[in-house]
Amino acid sequence: MNLDARLKELGLDANAQLRSATPHFKIREVFHSDTAEAKGIYNVPDASKLTIVLFNAERLAENVLEPLRNAFGVCKVSSWYRSEALNATIPGASATSSHMTGEAADVLFNALPGARIQEAFLWFLRPSAPKMDQVILERRGEHTVWLHLGCGSKMRGQLLLSPRGGGYFPFTGNQWQIDELMEGIG
Ligand SMILES: [Zn+2]
């Protein structure tokens, strides 16, 4: 059974907007995962957890993703909700990841040059930026950079960098930290 059919069983329309204030984010995007599909992992919470996951996802979409999209243009969510089974397959993922409650999403800026991704990261330093738990500029491999965006029950206000070698380091406001992470990305 595909994702849309599973959501329908739970009374959800995959094509519906999360909230009226989030015209660019649909219910399907919360649960879709290329990895889950490739590995045949069921990535929809059971009914008892569904309401809170959707509530968390709606809050993230309205407070963070929609404003970010308005500022920077099309962004693709590559990973949002993760079931325990899916989270367990992600190398380096925390066993208490905020993805498991729908409170975090990873956002790729397709076709955005590296400079714009940096700009999007630094956008969260503005006094008027949405309040956040964690914003992480993450790099894996030669070409992949994304922003991990989390807000919800924990609100630690952390800006972190995760270079391709792994680990998480506080961003202390020094441009060289970003330059080092982004080295070789156009
Ligand atoms: Zn993430």
Tens-level pLDDT at each residue, the chain (186 residues): 789 999 999 999 999 999 999 999 999 999 999 999 999 998 999 989 999 999 999 999 999 999 999 998 878 899 999 999 999 998 878 889 999 999 999 998 765 667 788 899 999 999 999 999 999 999 988 888 999 999 998 999 999 999 998 899 999 999 999 999 999 887
Ligand 1 centroid, distance to 140 Cα (angstroms) = 12
pLDDT given at position 29: 96
Do the strands 134-140 and 144-150 form a parallel or antiparallel pair, or are they unpaired?
Answer: antiparallel
pLDDT given at position 112: 65
Domain tally, the chain: 1
Ligand 1 centroid, distance to 21 Cα (angstroms) = 23
Ligand 1 centroid, distance to 136 Cα (angstroms) = 8
Whose CA is closest to 109, among 78, 136, 151? 78
Q: Which range of residues forms the domain containing residue 60?
A: 3-182
Backbone angles phi, psi at 144, to 5 degrees: -100, 120
Sheet containing 134-140: order of strands: 76-79, 104-108, 144-150, 134-140, 158-162, 169-170
Ligand 1 centroid, distance to 113 Cα (angstroms) = 20
Ranges of H-type helices in 25-160: 27-31, 34-39, 47-60, 66-72, 84-89, 114-123
Whose CA is closest to 162, among 138, 143, 184? 138
Q: Where residue 155 sits, what CATH number does that domain have?
A: 3.30.1380.10
pLDDT given at position 169: 97
Give the global pTM: 0.93
